[in-house]
Each structure stands twice: as structure tokens, then as C-alpha cells.
Amino acid sequence: MIKLAENRYGKCRVRVVRIKRDRPVHEFTEWTVEVLLTGKFTECFESGDNSLIMATDSMKNTVYSLARDTGAGTIEDFGLELTDHLVKTNPQIDSASASIKNVPWGHITVDNIAAPSAFIKGGGEVETSEVTRQRDGAPTVTSGIENLVIIKTANSGFEGFIRDAHTTLPETADRLFGTAVRARWIYAAGGLPFAEARCTVRNALLKKFAEHESRSVQHTLYAMGKAALEDVPEIKEIELTMPNKHCILVDLTKFGKTNPNEIFVPIEEPYGYIEATIRRED
């Protein structure tokens, strides 16, 4: 017997720019929203009956309409509002998920004064959130950061690893340690001060990275995740992905010069890849 198994559908890359002009200093935000639904969609897949299908174009328009009226100050709060609306107005839906990315923008500073209506896009770092709401049950809120690019030039080494016939990497107690952190953390409940919690998590990750006496990427990854859980008790777990951003020491002996760990060449690939989840035990 053949039957339809797990399925969902939705609208991706719904881009929204919101501008608040009702104040002397304007606010500018840019979101990219993804909506996914699960529900009673078997007949659509198996027989082509669309009578219980909400058009993905309608999902896009729902995002724009709610963005016009929302009082949400964070992507988490908007995700909660959007999923609540979708579930309440569509009885055929079992669950709704909203994944949102926030691109950072800041005011241009001129002569140490923030221009009230001129903005500059931030670096590559992106704030993320995913809200999943079941029809019966509390919503799950996950926040995150992507492409948090950091590097340290001291207090990092890699020694004592397995050496075999294919090992050429020398051990070192003094290396550059660069990475692009992706972090995702799950809250124990909704309705929290998400902006404050996000700031605390980010600061905890950066502080521990800067201060940690690193013996490996794994060693520092765990310390960073542990610090975030300690500083934000509302978090149940945090997943960290930390690829190595390698900087290779350049051999200058052919030019009759030494290289006391000062001249490096950055490489994009291949690269080491480390990820782990650090979870709070009951």
C-alpha cells in the first residue's frame, strides 16, 4: 500500500521593509519571512482537490498585512502573532511555522550625530527566529544568529590529537582561531523579553570566546554554549555551529625572512566543521 506521509507547504523569501516615520528619528527594519503549514492536505496531493488549500500568495499577503498593523518589536513576537493568526483563521491547519531573518541596519553617523532618516546596512551577521505553533499546545520559539564572524590571535592552540600515516598538521600552542558562528537556542516559554535575551546570549558568546583558553574549536564551542545557558535561564538548549576560518602561516624563509606568526593567508576551503548542542538537564 502506498500513502502520503509527512508533508507541508508554504511561502518562502517574503521580504518586508518596515519604516516607522511617526517620530523624529525613523526606524528601518528588513525581514525575510518563511511560512510553512501542516494540516489536512491529503486530498490535494492525492486527488488534486484544493478546497482546503490556502494559496501561498495569500500567505505572502498575510505577512504584509500583519506587518502593517503589528506592534511587535522583535522577530520572535511577530512570528508568534503571525502563526497565531494563521491557525485561528484556518481550521484545516494543524500547525504553522514562521521563520524570520532580520538584516541589521543602523543610522548613518555624521559628525558623531546619528542621521534621523539615513541608514547603513550592517555586516554579514543576521538575526533569526523560528516560531512553530500547534493547534493544541504552546508555541515553540527558537532564536538565533548566523554568520557571526570572529577571530582571536592569542590563547588558542591545537595539540595532542591523533597522528597517523595521513597526518601532516603540526601541533601548535599558538594559532589564529577564526570562525563564523551560527547559534540557535530554544526558549522554555513564549512571551519573554526576546530582545534583551538575544543581547545577553550574544554578549555571553563573545565574552567567552574572547576570554577562553582554547585547546580546540570543540573546547571553546562548549564553553560558549555553557556560558549562554548560565546567563539566560529561560533557554532550554543552544546549538552552535563553528566552521574553521583558516589562516595559514606563510613560509617566508625563501625570501630570507622569519615569520613570527604575523603573516598569514586566509583560505575559504576546505575547512573544519564543528557543531554541538548544549542542553540544560532537569
* Positions marked active-site: 11, 56, 246
From the CA atom positions of the chain, what is the Rg in Å? 23
Whether the upstream peptide bond of residue 270 has omega within 30° of 0, thus cis, is yes
DSSP letter for 253, please. Answer: G
Dist CA 64 CA 236 (whole Å): 32
Residues whose CB is less than 8 angstroms from the CB of residue 276 and which lie 6 or more positions away in sequence, other chains included: 218, 221, 222, 225, 239, 240
* Cell triple for 20: 516607522
Stated as kind and residue range, the H or E segment containing 211 is helix 194-211
Q: Which residue has the cell 600515516?
A: 165
